């Protein structure tokens, strides 16, 4: 009986001790102010979403074209005596390119000059006769008919002189046209004819083509969908186009290299191409070294504007549903996982620009999302970027 009492007292003291320890543990949890994750809760790395300033650009394909193009055609008929330029060279405005045989045109000019001289030689005699008949008509020594005939002869001679002056001018112009010159400065291509070829005035086939390549045009098609979206974002205040920086355009060459000089957006065409549903943007680029050639395919990088409150998230933090809809996981105030559906605008580097679905201050899961499900409790640690490929600290919102 005494032994049973001893065992009973020992059990009572053990239960009291366990109750005391349980109370201490419960008191410590209450002081923490937040429920602790259960033992074995998965660990996730998060970043805090903060808005930042982002310059938005768009990359569009395009093609280069010459600033000026002049097709060389003869303005008179004749034989080409000599080609006076080197194919593929730079030529200056007014430089002689071809020489047409001038013999017949020189003869026509000489003939016109002779006829003009003959008309001018008869002018003095005809004018003197008309003046004398006018004096005699006053004393009625000649008939009125003789006076009228003399006046008509004077006017005809004066008209002949003007006619032959015009013929001399025409013949001189035709003679000058036998020397075919460059109308603009630029690089001339190959010649379509050789010495001794017969050419005709304003023939359909050009003798050669001159292209001015400094500066150079770049024509970039932009879809009306993108144009309307950009206009809507500007009107809503999501984008800001301050100054003339939005008119600056960068160029990516066909081999992926960046063209060292910036271009300037000149205008946007007012007509939509019904076949492609796009409008043409024309950009002018300096080309002092002749790197750009007409007809090259390039990619133009145009600045749309500045988004002062952009939300950028690492691409690794975004997943997709079986239907392809983007979503991400965040950690709420109770350290539980929540799913957020996203609307993505575009990829910028290794990040997504988020249009909707996230708010400032959200704790976004960047690493460890594969081990958790919505509603699960997690242990939160701060995500640390590794090298340049990790998440960068956002700029403070203005």
Residues 6+ apart with CB under 8 A from 68: 184, 186, 211, 212
* pLDDT (average), residues 136-163: 87
Q: Which of 238, 248, 124, 113 is nearest to 168 (CA)?
A: 113
- Whole-number pLDDT of residue 36: 55
Residue 36 domain-assigned (yes or no): no
* Same domain as 62, residue 91: no
Token readout for 89 is 């060279």
Q: Write out pLDDT tens, residues 73-99.
A: 999 999 999 999 999 999 999 999 999
* Same domain as 320, residue 299: no
- Whole-number pLDDT of residue 363: 92
- Whole-number pLDDT of residue 29: 45
Token readout for 370 is 């594969």
Q: Write out pLDDT tens, residues 238-280.
A: 666 665 556 788 999 988 899 999 998 888 888 888 888 888 8
* Same domain as 80, residue 123: no
Residue 8 domain-assigned (yes or no): no
* Same domain as 182, residue 162: no
Residues 6+ apart with CB under 8 A from 194: 80, 83
Residue 272 domain-assigned (yes or no): yes
Instruction: Give the residue numbers spanning the domain of 116.
Output: 102-176
The CATH number given to whatever domain includes residue 133 is 1.10.287.470
What is the overall mean pLDDT for the chain? 83
Residue 17 domain-assigned (yes or no): no
Q: Write out pLDDT tens, residues 314-355.
A: 999 999 999 999 999 999 988 899 999 998 988 888 889 898
* Same domain as 353, residue 315: yes
Residue 31 domain-assigned (yes or no): no
* Same domain as 322, residue 274: no
Instruction: Give the C-alpha distances (Å, rounded to integers) separating 48 from 277, 312, 334, 389.
Output: 41, 11, 15, 18
- Whole-number pLDDT of residue 67: 93
Residue 353 domain-assigned (yes or no): yes
- Whole-number pLDDT of residue 54: 84
- Whole-number pLDDT of residue 393: 37
Q: Quick check: 370 pLDDT over 90?
A: no
* Same domain as 193, residue 97: yes
- Whole-number pLDDT of residue 258: 92
The CATH number given to whatever domain includes residue 244 is 2.40.30.170
Q: Which of 394 and 173 is assigned the larger pLDDT? A: 173
Q: Which of 37 and 289 is assigned the larger pLDDT? A: 289
Q: Quick check: 105 pLDDT over 80?
A: yes
Q: Write out pLDDT tens, residues 50-73.
A: 998 888 888 889 999 999 999 999
* Same domain as 351, residue 255: no
Q: Which position has the token pair 């005596």?
A: 81
The Cβ of residue 213 has, within 10 Å, a number of other Cβ atoms equal to 21
Of 308, 338, 359, which one is at a domain's C-terminal end? Answer: 308
* Same domain as 118, residue 97: no
Number of domains composing the chain? 4
* Same domain as 294, residue 225: yes
Burial of 142 per CB tally in 10 Å (0-12, 13-18, 19+)? middle
The CATH number given to whatever domain includes residue 90 is 2.40.50.100
Q: Quick check: 200 pLDDT over 90?
A: yes
Q: Quick check: 219 pLDDT over 50?
A: yes
Instruction: Give the C-alpha distances (Å, rounded to integers) separating 203 from 45, 70, 76, 82.
Output: 75, 14, 10, 18
Residue 32 domain-assigned (yes or no): no
* Same domain as 189, residue 94: yes
Of 308, 339, 354, which one is at a domain's C-terminal end? Answer: 308
Q: Write out pLDDT tens, residues 291-319.
A: 999 999 999 988 877 778 889 999 999 99
Confidence band of 228 (pLDDT split at 50, 70, 90): confident
Of 160, 187, 205, which one is at a domain's C-terminal end? Answer: 205
Burial of 74 per CB tally in 10 Å (0-12, 13-18, 19+)? buried
Q: How far is the C-alpha of 221 from the C-alpha of 339, rounded, in Å?
A: 39
* pLDDT (average), residues 153-177: 94
Q: Quick check: 3 pLDDT over 60?
A: no
Residues 6+ apart with CB under 8 A from 175: 102, 105, 106, 108, 109
Is the CB of residue 344 less than 8 Å from the CB of residue 317? no
Is the CB of residue 97 less than 8 Å from the CB of residue 85? yes
The CATH number given to whatever domain includes residue 380 is 2.40.420.20
Q: Which position has the token pair 């600033």?
A: 67
* Same domain as 96, residue 109: no
Confidence band of 384 (pLDDT split at 50, 70, 90): confident
- Whole-number pLDDT of residue 39: 59
Residue 88 domain-assigned (yes or no): yes
């Amino acid at each position: 009986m005494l032994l049973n009492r001893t065992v009973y007292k020992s059990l009572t003291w053990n239960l009291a001790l366990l109750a005391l320890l349980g109370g201490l543990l419960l008191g410590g949890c209450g002081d923490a102010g937040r429920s602790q994750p259960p033992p074995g809760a998965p660990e996730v790395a998060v970043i805090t979403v903060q808005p930042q300033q982002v310059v938005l650009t768009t990359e569009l394909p395009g093609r280069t074209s010459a600033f000026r193009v002049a097709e060389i055609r003869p303005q008179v008929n004749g034989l080409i005596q000599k080609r006076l330029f080197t194919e593929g060279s730079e030529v200056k405005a007014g430089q002689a390119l071809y020489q047409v045989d001038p013999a017949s045109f020189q003869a026509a000019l000489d003939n016109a000059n002779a006829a003009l001289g003959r008309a001018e030689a008869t002018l003095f005699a005809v004018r003197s006769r008309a003046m004398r008949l006018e004096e005699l008509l006053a004393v009625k020594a000649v008939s009125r008919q003789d006076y009228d005939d003399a006046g008509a002869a004077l006017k005809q001679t004066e008209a002949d002189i003007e006619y032959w002056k015009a013929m001399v001018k025409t013949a001189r112009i035709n003679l000058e046209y036998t020397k075919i010159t460059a109308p603009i400065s630029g690089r001339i291509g190959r010649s379509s004819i050789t010495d001794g070829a017969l050419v005709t005035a304003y023939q359909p086939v050009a003798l050669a083509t001159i292209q001015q390549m400094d500066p150079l045009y770049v024509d970039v098609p932009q879809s009306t969908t993108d144009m309307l979206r950009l206009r809507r974002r500007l009107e809503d205040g999501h984008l800001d186009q301050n100054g003339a920086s939005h008119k600056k355009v960068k160029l990516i060459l066909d081999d992926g290299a960046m063209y060292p000089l910036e271009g300037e957006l000149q205008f946007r065409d007012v007509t939509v191409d019904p076949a492609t549903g796009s409008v043409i943007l024309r950009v002018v680029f300096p080309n002092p070294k002749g790197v750009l050639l007409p007809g090259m395919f390039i990619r133009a990088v145009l600045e749309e504007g500045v988004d002062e409150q952009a939300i950028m998230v690492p691409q690794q933090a975004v997943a997709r549903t079986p239907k392809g809809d983007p979503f991400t996981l965040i950690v709420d105030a109770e350290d539980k996982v929540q799913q957020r559906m996203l609307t993505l605008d575009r990829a910028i580097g290794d990040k997504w620009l988020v249009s909707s679905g996230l708010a400032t201050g959200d704790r976004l899961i960047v690493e460890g999302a594969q081990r958790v499900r919505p509603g699960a409790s997690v242990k939160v640690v701060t995500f640390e970027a590794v090298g340049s490929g990790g998440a960068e600290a956002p700029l403070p919102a203005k």
